[in-house]
């Protein structure tokens, strides 16, 4: 009896393992490789009307987007939130756009006057293996050596923002 249960469990485990093989499933599979990599990106504007704060959180399986209200008219701008599965292709594209050497060697702030004249600030934070590095810069500016990453993250945030 125990042998039958063991064989059944072993068979199910093998079936699940092969079901999550990326060559056997579509890129919509939620069986993406486990990773503790998390990328957070966003913008904020100190003095604005409307939605003044955007945040996009990406990990190996999910993309989560938030927009928060203006402090001036909170009732007119309810919090917006979307969560979707992150496809393997999108995850690979984002991961491959990161030059970790460039990112890790950047100062934490790339501007002497973040959000001056309400030009806004933007950030990218990468967490992996218990380590975290956050870089803040002028909104919609490029970062030399990370142009593709910045572009991908900005496009994703803009896509979500247009959905509200």
Q: Does position 36 have pLDDT exceeding 70, yes or no?
A: yes
The answer to whether residues 122 and 138 touch, using CB atoms and an 8 Å cutoff, is: yes
Assigned domain for 100 exists: yes
Main-chain dihedrals φ then ψ at residue 102, nearest 5 degrees: -65, -50
Query: How many domains are contained in the chain?
Result: 1
Strand order in the sheet with 53-58: 80-85, 62-68, 53-58, 38-44, 121-128, 131-138
Q: Could you please report the per-residue DSSP string of 16-73?
A: HHHHT-TTTS-TT-S-PPP---EEEEEEE-SS-SS--EEEEEE-SSEEEEEEE--SS-
Q: Does position 109 have pLDDT exceeding 60, yes or no?
A: yes
Is 137 strand, coil or helix?
A: strand
Assigned domain for 148 exists: yes
Task: Print the domain residue range for 103.
Answer: 32-161
- pLDDT band with cut points at 50, 70 and 90 for residue 73: low
Assigned domain for 123 exists: yes
According to the model, what pLDDT value does residue 58 have? 95
- pLDDT band with cut points at 50, 70 and 90 for residue 7: very low
Joined tokens for residue 114:
């973040």
Assigned domain for 23 exists: no
Assigned domain for 52 exists: yes
Assigned domain for 5 exists: no
Tell me the average pLDDT of the chain. 78
Assigned domain for 56 exists: yes
Q: Does position 17 have pLDDT exceeding 50, yes or no?
A: no
Specify the CATH number for the domain of residue 127: 3.30.1560
pTM: 0.74
Give mean pLDDT, residues 60-89. 84
């Amino acid at each position: 009896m125990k042998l039958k249960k063991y064989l059944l469990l072993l068979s199910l485990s093998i079936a699940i393992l092969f079901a999550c093989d990326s060559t056997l499933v579509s890129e919509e599979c939620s069986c993406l490789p486990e990773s503790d990599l998390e990328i957070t990106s966003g913008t904020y504007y100190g003095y604005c009307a409307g939605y003044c704060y955007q945040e996009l959180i990406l990990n190996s399986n999910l993309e989560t987007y938030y927009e928060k209200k203006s402090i001036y008219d909170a009732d007119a701008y309810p919090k917006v939130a979307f969560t979707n599965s992150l496809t393997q292709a999108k995850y690979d594209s984002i991961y491959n756009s990161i030059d970790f050497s460039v990112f890790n060697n950047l100062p934490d702030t790339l501007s002497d006057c973040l959000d001056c004249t309400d030009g806004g600030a933007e950030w990218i934070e990468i967490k992996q293996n218990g380590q975290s590095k956050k870089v803040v810069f002028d909104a919609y500016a490029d970062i030399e050596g990370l142009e593709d990453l910045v572009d991908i993250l900005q496009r994703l945030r803009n896509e979500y923002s247009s959905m509200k």
